[in-house]
Structure 1
Amino acid sequence: MSKRYFITGTDTEIGKTTVAAGLLRAARVRGLTTAGVKPVAAGCERTPEGLRNEDALALQAECEPPLAYDLINPVTLEAAIAPHIAAREENVPLTAQALAGACRQVFDRQADLTLVEGAGGWCVPLNHQELLSDVAIALRLPVVLVVGMRLGCINHALLSCRAIAADGLQLAGWVANHVDPDMGRQAENLATLRQLIQAPCLGVVPRLAKADAAAVAAHLEVSPLV
């Protein structure tokens, strides 16, 4: 049976893609088919093949069987700014309905594990009325929360958990990603998160010299998702 999840984070630049790629790799090692979707990506580079986003390419590398880039990342925005601002400046329509429809095209492939990666945190705007979380709501996806381990992460994590629950979605699990090597009392903060987040911890990712999918997968437990 196909399993599908929405990957969100406590903030931007806290390792959502790193964790998503690691989870897909962990599933592939188990012999499962995988698919990743980055429905909208801001901060794309111009290439001979068109606009390409580094995060979407990382997900594409972990899709088995392979998926075309346009399926993985249907909306590409060049400016590395908030998606709703980039979309407005680049005259690109951005709606939850369209993004959900693009995700369903990948769902039709019936991969054993499909991950839809958001942008930034849970409440990133798409336009004047909608948030990116409305895509997860429209698709009724359980959520995996990536917690960037740095000062303030407990507050950010608990607020994210409350917002996900208020939107009627299940928190399927969370991952602690150590993004700040200088964070004080990391172990104590992690213990508090384990106590207060009512969902399984899928792994604790340390600072890695090479944070590729294989290295990250070694610190993740994909079994609760599949």
Structure 2
Amino acid sequence: MKSKHYFIAGTDTDVGKTLIACGILGAAAKLGLKTLAVKPVAAGAEQTADGLRNSDALMLMAAMTESLPYEQVNPVLLKPPIAPHIAAEQAGRRLSVSQLAGFCRGVMMRKADMVLIEGAGGWRVPLNQREMLSGLAIELQTPVILVVGMKLGCISHAVLTAEAIQADGLVIAGWVANKLDAEMACFDENLATLRQLLPAPCLGVVPNLARPAPALVAECLDLSLLA
């Protein structure tokens, strides 16, 4: 692996970024790597005994090998499960790339062989009136691992996202096909087309899982293919 820091992006919201990220963490742990992860901004929280918590952040904490307090894994937590910039406005907060980059760098400086930074939604998610969350990956200059939600329309979503990532001057280190639709027509043909069109290696194909679990995802991945 050429870099130990990767930004996890998705072709849309609800394509399984967190599940795939946890699978990557699990696969890395099997290789004996020390891992950390950060979800710099999350929209959607539930009340727990420890206070408000985001389920994606908790999954990342369970999957990584090193320990961090919740507030470092998910430094910005917004309660309503809506677009982050809208949730922030409703809460009277202002999000910025520089703020999130500072949080991420704090984790990236720790001793770990791999650090994953998970985005929110798709590539072009607004943080405020001027900045997008994609600007965080640009600021940090991290290679991107793209999670492609395999369903009708995925080819256009994946290609457009890949073009945007490259237009932003970033490297796509690899991509993962996550089968969202168990009955997707022409799955193999769509997968073959994506392999041809996307400018990065496919790290694995995750089938539609009756009970999604990071350990099962890890078995589908080959991290040696990371560009």
1:187 aligned residue: 188
2:154 aligned residue: 153
2:75 aligned with 1:69? no
Task: Quote the sequence identity (%).
Answer: 58
CA offsets 1:156-203 (integer angstroms, 9 cap, x no match) = 000000000000000100000000112110000000000111101000
CA offsets 1:72-108 (integer angstroms, 9 cap, x no match) = 1000000010000001101122111000100001011
1:2-17 to 2 correspondences below 5 Å: 3-17=4-18
Q: Is the 8 A contact 2:205 2:221 kept in 1?
A: yes
- Output the amino acid matched with 1:174: W
The number of equivalent residue pairs is: 226
So what's the TM-score if we normalise by structure 1?
0.97
- Output the amino acid matched with 2:91: E
- Output the amino acid matched with 1:134: G
Q: What CA distance in whole angstroms lies between the structure 2 residues aligned with 1:218 and 1:210?
A: 14
Q: Is the 8 A contact 1:2 1:114 kept in 2?
A: no
Shift of 1:2: 6.2
Q: Is the 8 A contact 1:2 1:112 kept in 2?
A: no
- Output the amino acid matched with 1:10: T
CA offsets 1:21-76 (integer angstroms, 9 cap, x no match) = 00000001111100011000001112232210000100001121211111110000
2:125 aligned with 1:108? no
Instruction: Compare 7-16 and 47-56 and name the one that shifted more.
Output: 47-56
Q: What SS is found at the alignment partner of 2:58?
A: helix
2:206 aligned with 1:205? yes
Q: What CA distance in whole angstroms lies between the structure 2 residues aligned with 1:35 and 1:151?
A: 33
Q: What CA distance in whole angstroms lies between the structure 2 residues aligned with 1:164 and 1:110?
A: 28
CA offsets 1:3-36 (integer angstroms, 9 cap, x no match) = 0000001000010001000000000111110001
Structure 1, unmatched stretches of 5+, are none
Q: What CA distance in whole angstroms lies between the structure 2 residues aligned with 1:171 and 1:156?
A: 15
Q: What CA distance in whole angstroms lies between the structure 1 residues aligned with 2:98 and 2:51?
A: 24
Q: Is the 8 A contact 1:123 1:133 kept in 2?
A: yes
1:30 aligned residue: 31
1:86-165 to 2 correspondences below 5 Å: 86-165=87-166
Q: What CA distance in whole angstroms lies between the structure 1 residues aligned with 2:48 and 2:212?
A: 24
2:178 aligned with 1:177? yes
- Output the amino acid matched with 1:47: T
Structure 2, unmatched stretches of 5+, are none
Q: Cα RMSD over matched residues?
A: 1.2
So what's the TM-score if we normalise by structure 2?
0.97
- Output the amino acid matched with 2:218: A
Q: What SS is found at the alignment partner of 1:60?
A: helix
Q: Is the 8 A contact 2:22 2:64 kept in 1?
A: no
Q: Is the 8 A contact 1:17 1:58 kept in 2?
A: yes
Q: What CA distance in whole angstroms lies between the structure 2 residues aligned with 1:213 and 1:66?
A: 18
**CA gap 1:106/1:2 in 2 versus in 1, 3 angstroms:** farther
